[in-house]
A and B are shown apart, each in its own frame.
Chain A
Amino acid sequence: MALLQISEPGMSREPHQHRLAVGIDLGTTNSLVATVRSGIAVVLNDAEGHALLPSVVRYFPNGTTAVGYPAQAELVCDPRNTVVSVKRFMGRGLKDVAHAENCPYDFLDSPGMVQLRTCAGVKSPVEISAEILRTLRARAETALSGELVGAVITVPAYFDDAQRQATKDAARLAGLNVLRLLNEPTAAAIAYGLDNASEGVYAVFDLGGGTFDISILRLSKGVFEVLATNGDASLGGDDFDHRVFCWIVEQARPAPLSDEDTRLLLTEAREAKEHLSSHNEARITARLGTGELIDNTLPLKTYAEVTRTLVQKTIAPVKKALRDAGLTVDDVNGVVMVGGATRMPQIQQAVAEFFKQAPLNNLDPDKVVALGAAIQADVLAGNRPAGDDWLLLDVIPLSLGLETMGGLVERVIPRNSTIPIAKAQEFTTFKDGQTAMAIHVVQGERELVSDCRSLARFELRGIPPMVAGAARIRVTFQVDADGLLSVSAREATTGVEAAVAVKPSYGLSDGEITQMLQDSVSHSGDDAQARALNEQRVEARRMEEAVTAALAADADLLTPAELADIRAALAALVEVASGSDRGAITTALERVNKITEPFAARRMDRSIDQAFKGKKLEDMKI
């Protein structure tokens, strides 16, 4: 990488033209915000010099919150109102949350996404995450002394549509303009790729607090191409804490634990885990609320044994990702380690054994994702000169499909397809006179609908009654560059159309979704484009006639220059109206409308009837 960036004379951006953009790693355990300053990506610290913001939010009865270290400090005293690892609940129903019984929260199962009852009221994971994002936004705006144009927010590559949508909603709630949702391993690769000027195939092994991702990328000049991604959206450092917690309980066999003691022992377990990354044993001591004393020593060997199955759980997704990429272990030039949990020696060892090479650890695994996100945010905000930027080609992690007869899934977009991507599928009615059709969109790799994640259900209404099999309903799935899905449906013979952004059901009830769809169903002709063009032409003719008539009556109200301007605008309108560029007609119409506004006002003034004042020329009766 060049040490100095030399700009063409006159091409360099003035400092004030630099658009403030940040990258945010919204982590399970910790969150960070970073930016690019003078060409170098840096993590922004808080006023006390902390880079990490613990992803902990505490609610108080008066509705105020504490976020980060102050919240973490009180974790054991107020476990019910202090939320940790909220990322695990994003876009998830209660049944999807692992170890819910060990969480000291008052869960409320609501459709689509679980909610938490706190002393400040019921909070959704989206709202709780927004508190974390708001804190990071404030930190960034203070550090950079200005308003942000936008942020790149990272998500685990293996996040499904509901989890991504929830993350984007949280950012919007925190007042952030989301430039892009970026997959965490891809962000890490950007940070590494630029520092090391690497070329070739890289595996990014990302074990965070609550999620595990593996991505296989090909890096070549100016292009980061994700070949395949896989993972486990509910496997992370938290699970290792939980195994240690279970071990402590098994050893000590204390009386049933209170919420406070559960939280205390989970914290002890986490500290023991961290200690074991650089020591051979960890001593665990805690005084429970009952007065009971816990005092145990956990040897590294025992720790490795109780967490062995967790380590093994990471290898199957790695194999699948390589298979999907059409590569073998020997094709991999380097393995990048991301996430605090990769500090564990047994993880380092398992990865080294599998890939037959020592993994790369030269960037701080806690910061690398935020740094990569900041670099990408800088590119998206347009702060880099053309030619000094790069292209990122990412994939959709999980297949998208539709429910068909018998609860089976028909795959429409296979996993690891490069995004953006669209696919259309045709369906037909199966009963005579059928006028509605239910569409159920699911995400996942299993064959049964019940084993996949349900993303959206909607109904296409207003299908004209025909004999069975005669209607042709074309359903189009579009996945955008954020990995978010939208679906539209159209009956081919009549043009009945419906579109729905696949909002997870937490925000919208089924009724609301149906309403949304009914609102959007329009009986358009076979060729909606042609019809719209025709409408614009009619409008243009109407406008031309109205203005010509007005000029004939009141042209003396205008100066010669004004008159010439109006005539020129009219001529332009007449000309484009004979063409087929609908946008040009619209523009010309707006122009005439605007240029005749003073004329209209003067005509109105002249008129005896003042009731027309303020209306546009075309609204007047001439």
Chain B
Amino acid sequence: MINFQHNHFELFGLPQRFHLDLAQMEQAYRQIQSQVHPDRYVQAGDAERRASMQSATQVNEAYRTLKDPLTRARYLLALQQVDVESENNTAMPAEFLMQQMQWREAVEEAADQPEALAELELRLAGEMKDHYAELERSLDSDGDYALAAESVRKLMFLERLREEIGDALERSDA
């Protein structure tokens, strides 16, 4: 079974940084799951079965956390004892908030037009890519965790926006 003292990076034998070799992680994930998954312990006793489920649960949690760049960044910051303060710290740069309002207006206007929504989604993806590049720099090269936390907060806004576009696309389909 796995070592529950290990953090998610240690679990998969990965360097503790934002830049991630996804293929390497997937390989490690599958290899560990092949060892601990409950399907391997169907015939075992209660205690072993429970340990297997707890291990597999932890491995899934680690994989899910690291796979998504935003949760990965938040996890890295948490390991550095940096709280993103997503609930309390809503003071964002005025310029960014302005852009957010424009985005939202654009999504509302495109509500019933799948093509327009798809185009917005594409543009948003481009903008998010820039923010992620900045996030990687501040986490992996500069060690500027305050700036990284700000990038995370911005990206949380943008992720929510992306979900809203997705929902609108789904509705316009129906």
Contacts and interface: CB of A to CB of B under 8 A. Distances in A.
B170 A323 contact: yes
A422 interface: yes
B68 to A, nearest CB: 11
A480 B34 contact: no
Given A420-B57, A422-B57, A379 B39 contact: yes
Given A320-B170, A391-B30, A421 B57 contact: yes
A233 interface: no
B63 A418 contact: yes
B91 interface: no
Interface string B124-143: 00000000000000000000
Interface string B60-87: 1101100000000000000000000000
A380 interface: yes
A180 B57 contact: no
A393 B170 contact: no
B30 A323 contact: no
Contact of A480 (B33, B53, B64, B173): B53
B170 A481 contact: no
Interface in A393-438: 393, 417-422
B110 interface: no
Interface in A220-248: 222-223
B171 to A, nearest CB: 11
A150 B42 CA distance: 10
Contact of A392 (B39, B60, B63, B173): B39
B99 interface: no
B39 A180 contact: yes
Contacts of B63: 418
B173 A316 contact: yes
A516 interface: no
A199 to B, nearest CB: 14
A428 to B, nearest CB: 15
Task: Determine chain B's interface SS by DSSP, over half rule.
Answer: helix
Nearest to A479: B57
Interface residues of B, number: 19
A289 interface: no
Interface residues on A, range: 20 to 34
B38 A391 contact: no
Contact of B37 (A179, A382, A391): A391
A545 to B, nearest CB: 29
Contact of A481 (B30, B39, B174): B39
A448 interface: no
A312 B156 CA distance: 35
Contacts of B57: 420-422, 478
For A320, A392, A480, the residue with the greatest tally of chain B CB atoms inside 10 Å of its CB is: A480
B117 interface: no
B43 interface: yes
A319 B170 contact: yes
Given A420-B53, A420-B56, A391 B39 contact: yes
B166 interface: yes
A392 B166 CA distance: 29
A252 to B, nearest CB: 35
**Chain B CB within 10 Å, residue with most, of A223, A420, A421:** A420
A381 interface: yes
A323 B171 CA distance: 13
B173 A391 contact: no
Given A422-B57, A478-B57, A481-B56, A380 B42 contact: yes
A391 B34 contact: yes
Contacts of B30: 222-223, 391
A353 to B, nearest CB: 15
Given A316-B173, A481-B53, A418 B39 contact: no
Contacts of A419: 60
Contacts of A150: 42
B74 to A, nearest CB: 16
A384 to B, nearest CB: 12
A373 to B, nearest CB: 13
Contacts of A480: 38, 53
A453 B44 CA distance: 34
Contacts of A381: 42-43
Nearest to A583: B47
B64 A417 contact: yes
Contact of B38 (A222, A223, A320, A420): A420
22 contacts: A179-B42, A180-B39, A222-B30, A222-B34, A319-B170, A380-B39, A380-B42, A391-B30, A391-B37, A393-B37, A418-B60, A418-B63, A420-B53, A420-B57, A421-B57, A421-B61, A422-B57, A422-B61, A478-B53, A478-B57, A481-B39, A481-B53
Interface of A: 150, 179-180, 222-223, 316, 319-320, 323, 379-382, 391-393, 417-422, 478, 480-481
Instruction: Please provide the 9 A-B residue pairs with the shortest distance between their CB atoms, ordered closest to farther.
Output: A481-B38, A380-B42, A420-B57, A422-B57, A418-B60, A391-B34, A420-B53, A420-B56, A223-B30
Interface of B: 30, 33-34, 37-39, 42-43, 53, 56-57, 60-61, 63-64, 166, 170, 173-174
Given A180-B39, A222-B30, 20 more contacts: A179-B42, A180-B42, A222-B34, A223-B30, A316-B174, A319-B170, A320-B170, A323-B166, A323-B170, A381-B42, A391-B33, A391-B34, A418-B64, A420-B57, A420-B60, A421-B57, A422-B57, A480-B53, A481-B38, A481-B53
